[in-house]
Amino acid sequence: MNIGEAAKQTGLSAKMIRYYESIGLISSSGRSANGYRHFNQQDLHRLAFIRRSRDLGFSLEEIGKLLALWQDDQRASADVKRLAGAHIEDLNRKIEELVGLRDTLQELVSACHGDERPDCPILKDLASGCAAHPHGSKES
């Protein structure tokens, strides 16, 4: 099938499929004489694997490692678990950062009168160039 059909079946855009090919996540074999890429079921499975991995927030580098492990019949599941565990730790760090950002912004919104006066703590904080980290979540 052509790239348009592969895109429809995998839910990826043709542009993303081309990008994944350019960075080596999918092979560039299987081209016709006119240079068009033809996709088979194995390609579709690989693209579905990549899409699901992206949906779970894995980086392209991590996906490359996961694909290598998926293709390796001699892999140790401990290697996959270790990679996924590291990803969970990264997600937890990001969640903590987002919660801190939300809490800081919520405090600023609560401090703003939201009336006709020009005084606005939100704008003052933004203009100060540094967040007043009320929850002790100072960045270094």
pLDDT in tens, 97-123: 999 999 999 999 999 999 998 999 999
- Which of 2-16, 24-38, 51-65 comes out lowest in average pLDDT? 24-38
Distance, in Å, from the CA atom of 13 to the CA atom of 135, rounded to the nearest integer, reads 41
Contact 121, 112 (CB under 8 A): yes
User: Rg of the Cα trace of the chain?
Assistant: 23
Every domain of the chain and the residues it spans: 1-75, 76-140
Summarize the confidence of residues 78-103 as an average pLDDT. 98
Q: What percent of the chain has pLDDT over 90?
A: 80
How many CA atoms does the CB half-sphere of 58 hold within 13 Å? Answer: 20
Residues 6+ apart with CB under 8 A from 70: 49
| Residue 29: per-residue pLDDT | 65
CA angle centred on 66, ends 60 and 67, rounded to 5°: 90
CATH number belonging to domain 1-75: 1.10.1660.10
| Residue 48: per-residue pLDDT | 96
Distance, in Å, from the CA atom of 15 to the CA atom of 125, rounded to the nearest integer, reads 40
- Which of 21-25, 77-81, 84-88 comes out lowest in average pLDDT? 21-25
The pTM is what?
A: 0.77
